[in-house]
Structures are given as structure tokens and as C-alpha cells.
Structure 1
Amino acid sequence: MSRVFLRKRSKNYIVYLEYFDKETNKRKQKNMGSYPLKRDANKRLNEVKEEIYKEELLLPNEIILQDFLLDFLEKYKMNLSITTYNCYMRICKKYIIPLLGDIKLCDIRPIHIQNYVDDLLDLLTPQTIKVHLNILNLALKRAYRLKLIKENVVQFVEVPKNKKYKNEIYNAEDMKKLLEKSRETSLELPIILASGLGLRISEILGLTWNNIDFNDFTITIDKITVRDKGQVILKEPKTESSIRTISAPKEIILMLKQLKKDRLAAKLRGEKSHRELIFYDKNLNPIAQDVLSKKFRYFLQENNLKHIRFHDLRHSHVTMLIDAKVPIKVISERVGHSNVNTTLNIYSHALREMDQEASDKISDTLFNNERKMG
């Protein structure tokens, strides 16, 4: 089977086609174009892949979904983040391939996908099943474009409805108890960064010392932690809006400053510490998100505190900002939402309460005064 790949030569990116030459019984490489910009080279790379795809897979009526799906994900990988790609591969290997993989591509009908969805409804949430359908939809769109199938059958499938989930949050009293219990524990600072700044768990664990401006009292979020093949690594956030610099309460900056002093003192005593990371494990590696989430859950249980997810501390933070009448645009930018509508949709419940409060105030101002005058 042929393969296409990029290789940088001097200042240019070259697209190579590697193929098997039947005359010489050897593998050969052919230059398919040289480009100064990587994006142009990638475009040509995909074009060549499309050209050889129809020729070298199998006859269209012999391709099974498993082969097509794995080949599609490999080619589509460059469009996905590491986390998303690994997630898609897990779903394919654990669910889609065992249940649908042996069906010939040309034989797939809506009933196959619908039965697949119905069978999983007792095991997975509707939101998770929609991810499965998205993978199938992307792959079958490609198959339709290549004229391997007559239609994308996913469009005919009844999509499960999401159950409405109300974010659990901590009120002021709950938060006070949490902060008291977490004082001088390893969870204190992560909890304060989540509840005091609304940072995501991956953003907290991706913080390095150069993100902290001790003079201007600001924190820059420009990295997150993700798992890649079992290893926790740092990478850029998925969206540009997630990269941001926000003002931080001086109390939080002072806590970070004290931690840096403590780390330096420990280093002088001969203890090992990470030079850049603020949070790391005993092996000086970045901490996985699920590790901190589990630790937080056990902490709540041990201290008889109301159960919430660690991520709900972020929701608690935003709700506090809304209650404090902070403008939605400011809130949206601080928490790294791509637009104001995202904030409005997620926190519609809290905003409805504010709307009712506004109505009550108008009622008191206009009609109570009117009754008093009467």
C-alpha cells in the first residue's frame, strides 16, 4: 500500500509518495510537490491521499467499516487535537468496531446505526453517544464524497436528547467550609484557583511560574495538560479565546509568591522540585486531570462536604460574578469562552434568577410607591 508524507528539505516542505514498484519489487519514493508554506504542503498531501485512496484500498463493495474508519482517522488526525484523536480511537476500538466494524461499507443502512444508538442508551449518556455519531458522520461524509456509498446514513438516525443538567455549585457558606477544610493541604491552591479565578482543571495543572506576574497581579493561561498515550503532557489550549491574561486577587498572587519561596527553600535543602511547573507529581511530571478530580472527590467525602465535581468550582465562580453584577462580556473573557453566547447558554439559570430579581425591583419601585401614594 502507498503512503504519503511530508519532509522538510532546506526551507521547503516536500510531499512524497512512497509506493511499491511491481517491476523492480521495491518500494520507491516520488516527489509530489515542494512548498515554502507548511499549510500548502498539507493541502497537497491531502489531495494526493484522496487520489490514491480510491485506487489502493479495496474494491468499494469489499471495504468494511473497520478498515475505512481506521484509515479515515489516520488521515483526519491532523485536524484533531491529541486528546480528541485519542478519544475517537478509544470509542472506535471499544464500541464502534466491535458492534459495526464487520459490516461492508456499501451495506450500511440507517437501521444499523439506529440499533447501535439504541443499544448504548442504557450504558452511555446521550451526550457521549452523540460523540460516537459525530465520528461516524465525519467518516461517512468522506465515504460519500469519494462515491463509496450512495448516502450518509447517519443523517437519518434519531439522535438521543440530552438530559438537562443543572450545574451543582457552592454558595458562600459552602465555599467558606471548603476553604477552611482545605487550608494547608495540597488541594488548597488548586481549589482557590478554580473558585477564585474560574480556571479549568487542565489550565490549573498547566500553569508555570512564568505565567504569574507578581508585579501586575495577573495570571496568563497559555497551556493545558492532556493525556497522550498514557503520558501527561502540556499543550496549547484548543481555542484562541482560552489563551488569556486575567487580573487576580492579591491574596492569590501572595499565596503563589509564598509557594515559590517555599520551593526555593526546599531546593536549598536538597529537595527535588520542578523548575517551571507549579503543580507536579512525585516524579516531577505534570499531573493528570483525573488524578486531581479523584483526589478532590475523596477530600469532600472525608470531610463530609457537599459533593460537587472539581469543575463545578468554576461554575461557582461564574455564578458569584453574575450575582455581583459583573458584565457578562467581562465574565466571558475572564473564563475563556469563545463568545458571550456560550456564557449565556451555560449560566442561563443564574441569569434567569437575576432577571426575576430585576423584575421584582421594578415592581417595588413603581407599584409599591404607587400604592403608598394612594
Structure 2
Amino acid sequence: MSFVFIRKRSKNYIVYLEYKDPDTGKKKQKNMGSFEKKRDANKKLVELKDAIYNDDFLAPNKTILKNHLMDFLEKYKENLSITTYNSYVRICNKYIIPMIGDIKLEDLRPIHIQDYVDDLVGVLTPQTIKIHINILNLALKRAYKLRLIRENPVEYIEVPKSRKFKNKIYNQEEMVKLLNVSKDTPLELPIVLASGLGLRISEILGLTWDNIDFDEKLITVDKITIRSNGKVVLKSPKTDSSIRTISAPTEVINMLKNHKRKCIELKLKGEIKKNNNFIFFDKNGEPIAQDVLSRKFSRFLNKHNLDHIRFHDLRHSHVTLLINSKIPIKVISERVGHSNINTTLNIYSHVLKEMDKEASDKISENLFKLS
């Protein structure tokens, strides 16, 4: 808390501001003016008290943005997943700090951040730029609460508009073709789990054998893989809704049985040296990184002259197939681990619009054209 007072020095009255240095935490005093007459000093004192009371005055500080950012992330990390925290730190080190990190907090203006955002347009997607803005907003909100800045400059920033687009997905015919081409290859089972069950790539790679109930034909998703400090580790999913148990087709269960049988045979031969419970693992017996599988999938599509899609788009293809098969949205939402049906409705709105048009055509055909 800052406060002001008058002290007489020689023949003059000096108004002092006392405040706590935000960097050292020590109390400091600053000369705010020297006056020959006490009434002039009192007038200055009242002005400063009003400014402090109205939060219009801030204690001087030399904190620069990059130091505040890293301090904020370190203290805020317990509210973030490991993946999100690492992503935020990477964005700060690669973009924010090199471009605007040396600006003092008290000198930071909306134009600095707007110029930063404008420079990224065309380089990064609008969705990614919004993550940058969110990091700055969270950090500067804290700075405002600590009275290091007069206002949060992020509030005045024009956010780039997201371009609406449809994910490239496979229709039923293309999915069947992919399954046939991948048969008896190392990618067959991951592709089946993504396209046949709608699992995320991190969920597939996080599966262990105790997640499979062969008798009841159930698969439980309760772990995902992430990369942390250069190492792939397992962790709980981000949301409770992502933890789920779903029924699997007999064909998928049989494929898992065959895969487990092969893993046991390799262990007996000594070709799998590390005793682990992973369904998918690398040559060292460790879990596989998501980007490794994504790159393998991309090369697989190129090799077999198949239309390029992301591995994650197999999940979108799966959900689209369920919607077109008239499966209730609530059932679909729960199977794929969405937090609520609104998430499913928003992501697949274009599919539902097509079905709405189809419903209109059906009404026209079955009702009005018969009258």
C-alpha cells in the first residue's frame, strides 16, 4: 500500500511517496515535490492521496514484461496441465519475449500488443494467436491486481477472426478403403481404434492392457500420453468426461486379442526386453509420442496414394459416420468423451445442417407431395 506525507527540510516542505518496491519487496521513498509554502505542499498531498484512493496512481516500478510473464507462469502452473504449461512457456520464449518482452510494464500500451498480434496474422492461425493473447491477458490481469499497471492493455486488442472451415474427413467408402490398405500393417490397430471407436491419438497411445475387458467387450479410457521435458509420459485426461468406458465391436476386440498374443510371443522370445503393460510402445518399451504416430500415418497415406488427412480426422470421420447413422447425439457425445452435447453439436454443426436439409426433403417427399 502506498501513502504520502510531508516532511520539512531546511526552509522547504517536501512531499514524499512511500511504496513497496515490487522487485525487492523493500519500502522506498520518492520525492514528489518541494514547496516553500506549507499550503502548497498540502495541496500536492491532497492530490496524491486522491490519486491513490482512486487507483489512478501507481508506485514506480521497473519490472519488464518478460520477467513478469515467467514469474506469472511459474506461480500459475498449478492451474495448468503439464502440456498447457509447457506450451505457454514455449510461446513466451519463442514469440512474446523476443518481440515485446523488454518493454517495461508501466510503458506497455495497447499499440504494442496490437502490433504484436498484427505481425503474427498470416504466420500463425487465428486460433493459435488467441492462445498468445490469452497468455498475455492472464499475466496482465495479475499485474493490474498487483497495481503494477493502470489498466490491462489486452482489453483493447482486436482479435483476429477465426476462419471457418470443415475438417477434411473420410466418408464411409474412404474409411473402408483405408482399413483394407492398412490390414496386417503396424498402423492397422491404431487406425481401427481411431476410426472405429473415435479415440483421440493421445488416448490410443495411453492404453494399457488392463483397460481392455475382453469378456464384456469394453474399453476404458483413463490415461493419455504427453511429452514433458523431452520424455513421453502418461497422465490423466484433461477433463472428467474424457475418462469413460465404451463398448467395442467384436472385430476390434478380436484384433486386440491377436495383438496381445503377438506381444506375448515377442516377450517369450526375448525380443521385448522391458516388461510393460502398454498396448503400443517403442523399441525401448516406452510409450510413443503423438507426433511420431502422426508422421507415420502421413507417410502411410502418401505411400498408398490416399487423400491426406490428419490422424485426428479419423475421429471426426467416426463421429460423422455415427451422426449419419442416426445415433443420438447424447450417446455420441459420451462415447467420444465430450464434456457435453453442445461441444458435439458445435464441432459437427455442418453435418447436422446437412441432415436438417435431408429431413426437410423427407418431409416434402412424404407429406406435401402426397397431398
Q: What TM-score does the superposition give when structure 2 sets the normalisation length?
A: 0.84
Q: Which runs of 5+ in 2 are unaligned?
A: 1-19, 27-58
Alpha-carbon distance, 1:84 to partner? 0.3
The 5 A counterparts of 1:176-325 are 176-272=176-272, 274-325=275-326
The separation in 2 between residues aligned to 1:141 and 1:280, in whole angstroms, is 43
The separation in 2 between residues aligned to 1:233 and 1:53, in whole angstroms, is 41
1:157 corresponds to: 157
The separation in 2 between residues aligned to 1:271 and 1:311, in whole angstroms, is 31
Letter in 2 for 1:369: L
The separation in 1 between residues aligned to 2:236 and 2:196, in whole angstroms, is 23
2:52 corresponds to: none
2:112 corresponds to: 112
1:56 corresponds to: 24
The separation in 2 between residues aligned to 1:274 and 1:57, in whole angstroms, is 53
Letter in 2 for 1:185: T
Alpha-carbon distance, 1:266 to partner? 1.8
Question: Alpha-carbon deviations, 1:320-342, whole Å to 9, x = none?
Answer: 00011000000000000001000
The separation in 2 between residues aligned to 1:274 and 1:188, in whole angstroms, is 23
Alpha-carbon distance, 1:275 to partner? 2.4
1:92 corresponds to: 92
Compute the RMSD of aligned alpha carbons.
1.4
1:209–1:277 contact (8 Å) kept in structure 2: yes
Relative to structure 1, the CA distance from residue 65 to residue 232 in structure 2 (aligned partners, 3 Å threshold; closer, same or farther) is same
The 5 A counterparts of 1:167-182 are 167-182=167-182
Letter in 2 for 1:119: D
What secondary structure is seen at the aligned counterpart in 2 of 1:61? coil
The separation in 2 between residues aligned to 1:57 and 1:89, in whole angstroms, is 26
Question: How many residues are matched?
Answer: 319
What secondary structure is seen at the aligned counterpart in 1 of 2:338? coil
Alpha-carbon distance, 1:54 to partner? 3.8
2:127–2:162 contact (8 Å) kept in structure 1: yes
What secondary structure is seen at the aligned counterpart in 1 of 2:137? helix
The separation in 1 between residues aligned to 2:319 and 2:166, in whole angstroms, is 14
The 5 A counterparts of 1:75-86 are 75-86=75-86
Higher mean alpha-carbon deviation, 119-128 vs 340-349, is at 119-128
Where does structure 1 differ by over 3 angstroms across 4 or more consecutive aligned residues?
A: 52-55, 57-60
Letter in 1 for 2:24: E
What secondary structure is seen at the aligned counterpart in 2 of 1:62? coil
Alpha-carbon distance, 1:274 to partner? 4.5
Alpha-carbon distance, 1:198 to partner? 0.2
Letter in 1 for 2:362: K
1:57–1:63 contact (8 Å) kept in structure 2: no
Alpha-carbon distance, 1:57 to partner? 6.1
State the percentage of identical aligned residues: 68
Question: Alpha-carbon deviations, 1:148-185, whole Å to 9, x = none?
Answer: 10101001000001111201111111112111111111
Letter in 2 for 1:305: L
1:226–1:234 contact (8 Å) kept in structure 2: yes
The separation in 2 between residues aligned to 1:57 and 1:104, in whole angstroms, is 18
The separation in 1 between residues aligned to 2:97 and 2:122, in whole angstroms, is 19
The separation in 1 between residues aligned to 2:223 and 2:22, in whole angstroms, is 40
Letter in 1 for 2:201: I
1:336 corresponds to: 337
1:361 corresponds to: 362
The separation in 1 between residues aligned to 2:91 and 2:106, in whole angstroms, is 22
What secondary structure is seen at the aligned counterpart in 2 of 1:162? coil
Question: Alpha-carbon deviations, 1:297-344, whole Å to 9, x = none?
Answer: 010001000111000000000000001100000000000000100000
2:144 corresponds to: 144
What secondary structure is seen at the aligned counterpart in 1 of 2:355? helix
What secondary structure is seen at the aligned counterpart in 2 of 1:344? helix
Q: What TM-score does the superposition give when structure 1 sets the normalisation length?
A: 0.83
The separation in 1 between residues aligned to 2:118 and 2:23, in whole angstroms, is 36
Letter in 1 for 2:195: S
1:33 corresponds to: none
The separation in 2 between residues aligned to 1:85 and 1:329, in whole angstroms, is 32
1:15 corresponds to: none
2:276–2:285 contact (8 Å) kept in structure 1: no
1:71 corresponds to: 71
Letter in 1 for 2:240: E
1:127 corresponds to: 127
Q: Which runs of 5+ in 1 are unaligned?
A: 1-51
1:274–1:280 contact (8 Å) kept in structure 2: no
The separation in 2 between residues aligned to 1:137 and 1:199, in whole angstroms, is 33
Letter in 2 for 1:248: A
Letter in 2 for 1:276: N
The separation in 2 between residues aligned to 1:78 and 1:60, in whole angstroms, is 30
Relative to structure 1, the CA distance from residue 298 to residue 60 in structure 2 (aligned partners, 3 Å threshold; closer, same or farther) is farther
Alpha-carbon distance, 1:61 to partner? 2.2
Letter in 1 for 2:251: E
The separation in 1 between residues aligned to 2:345 and 2:295, in whole angstroms, is 29
The separation in 1 between residues aligned to 2:208 and 2:60, in whole angstroms, is 51
Alpha-carbon distance, 1:60 to partner? 4.7
1:110–1:156 contact (8 Å) kept in structure 2: yes
Relative to structure 1, the CA distance from residue 60 to residue 280 in structure 2 (aligned partners, 3 Å threshold; closer, same or farther) is farther
